[in-house]
Chains A and B, each alone.
Chain A
């Protein structure tokens, strides 16, 4: 248990500035040999499929693999302890000082860059759906519903989700789509 905690702490520390899944693979598979490469890749699939942040789900997967629910909570704590503490310090500093003009000016620039990062998220996975007109239509309809009609996320997913699942329900013998 303690090893699990320390290992996740190590993953979180190594991942300063991104590239978390590569780091966790190196530490979990190569250094500590907790999981085989195949088990790790399965974990990545499950983590992406289920709701929740991928990196956090990955920690839950590794933890569950060893000690079930308790392991998952320990892994989660190890993963989050340092980054979240740091973020809380940053947050308290922000709320105390954000009205200073100098801080606000710098933040305006940082916000512009962050907006660019947010904008790139959709384009990043667009390629996967290039050859599937129905998927593109679904995505476009979702975009229009949210942008044009301000439909909220929860009703949107509850209505569009089952419709899309019905369309993509696996049919015997016909694999119309490349696996995303």
Chain B
């Protein structure tokens, strides 16, 4: 099996210093000093992320690459709270900043594609895997896509099966109640952060930003299918009203 994801990210020492620093932050969650120092470094990392020249893909052979993709998503599966959308920021961090599978623009494109396509939006992971394997040719890209999707779904599916079989005992357990009530607010905070992250990644001009805010309000106030919003916005983009 592949290395656990934290080892993989340690192995990414070839990544330039600022990005590497933020990664270390991810490994050392506590400690106020680290947090304070990181806000400087993270700004550097944010600018570095925009210039992809700073992001050097790791040199792995085909199979190694595939295993890396699968190991990464296997480790994240159980953290997909609140239906999986909480992982979007993490996906961006991994595929754009850490492993350089995609540019930030491509990530935004793929997110929109996954939202527009039928089926659960978490199938985005398949597209990210495809992006990771694309430089090695369409065959590896497909393999990598299936591997990524399998990896993100397998652990949560196994846990779900176990939970279903024991639900009667779990239902009244204090652990279940505390988990449900405690993780809810955290999910709420993460979803707001994810929304801002995607908005930042989209990086459109002012008309684009206005469309984003308008869509947000319409999503909350009306029951219009989001496909219409994307279709209309796509036309606006084609006409050059929205660009980036």
Most buried by A among B25, B93, B192, B229: B192
- A124 to B30 alpha-carbon distance, docked (Å): 31
Q: Is B17 an interface residue (CB 8 A)?
A: no
Chain B residues, CB < 8 A from A117: 115, 215-216, 219, 226, 229
Judging by beta carbons under 8 Å apart, are A17 and B204 in contact? no
Contacts A53-B83, A118-B199: A109 and B238 contacting too (C-beta < 8 A)?
yes
Chain B residues, CB < 8 A from A147: 193, 196
Chain B contacts with A in 173-230, Cβ cutoff 8 A: 174-196, 198-199, 201-202, 204, 208-209, 211-220, 225-227, 229-230
Judging by beta carbons under 8 Å apart, are B216 and A153 in contact? no
Q: Which single residue of chain B is at the shortest CB-CB distance from A56?
A: B120
- A70 to B203 alpha-carbon distance, docked (Å): 44
Judging by beta carbons under 8 Å apart, are B113 and A91 in contact? yes
Chain A residues, CB < 8 A from B208: 108-109, 111-112
| Interchain CB contact (< 8 A) of A113 among B29, B121, B193, B212 | B212
Judging by beta carbons under 8 Å apart, are B204 and A111 in contact? yes
Main secondary structure of the interface of B (DSSP, over half): helix
Chain A residues, CB < 8 A from B235: 106, 109
Most buried by B among A102, A110, A136, A160: A110
- A152 to B79 alpha-carbon distance, docked (Å): 11
Q: Is A174 an interface residue (CB 8 A)?
A: no
| Interchain CB contact (< 8 A) of A55 among B120, B127, B174, B198 | B120
Chain A nearest Cβ from B23, distance in angstroms: 8
Q: Is A51 an interface residue (CB 8 A)?
A: yes
Q: Is B151 an interface residue (CB 8 A)?
A: no
Chain A nearest Cβ from B136, distance in angstroms: 12
Judging by beta carbons under 8 Å apart, are B77 and A52 in contact? yes
Chain A residues, CB < 8 A from B109: 94, 98, 107, 111
Q: Is A116 an interface residue (CB 8 A)?
A: yes
Q: Is A165 an interface residue (CB 8 A)?
A: yes
| Interchain CB contact (< 8 A) of B122 among A53, A60, A95, A152 | A53
Most buried by B among A49, A64, A121, A141: A121
| Interchain CB contact (< 8 A) of B165 among A49, A64, A159, A166 | A64
Q: Is B243 an interface residue (CB 8 A)?
A: yes
Q: Which single residue of chain A is at the shortest CB-CB distance from B198?
A: A118
Chain A residues, CB < 8 A from B35: 149, 151
Main secondary structure of the interface of A (DSSP, over half): helix
- A91 to B93 alpha-carbon distance, docked (Å): 20
Number of interface residues of B (CB under 8 A): 124
Interface flags, B147-162, vs A, CB<8A=1, else 0: 0010001001111110
Chain A nearest Cβ from B131, distance in angstroms: 7
- A160 to B22 alpha-carbon distance, docked (Å): 19
Judging by beta carbons under 8 Å apart, are B186 and A139 in contact? yes
Chain A residues, CB < 8 A from B106: 98
Judging by beta carbons under 8 Å apart, are B238 and A87 in contact? no
- A52 to B202 alpha-carbon distance, docked (Å): 25
Q: Is B118 an interface residue (CB 8 A)?
A: yes
Q: Which residue numbers of B lie inside 8 Å of A, CB to CB?
A: 22, 25-30, 35, 38-39, 42, 45, 75-90, 93, 106, 108-123, 126-127, 130-131, 134, 138, 141-142, 145, 149, 153, 156-161, 163-165, 167, 174-196, 198-199, 201-202, 204, 208-209, 211-220, 225-227, 229-230, 232-238, 240-244
The 7 closest A-B pairs by CB, nearest first: A109-B237, A83-B119, A116-B215, A142-B189, A52-B156, A155-B29, A164-B182
Seed contacts A47-B160, A138-B189, A163-B182; 4 additional CB < 8 Å A-B pairs: A84-B149, A120-B215, A143-B189, A169-B174
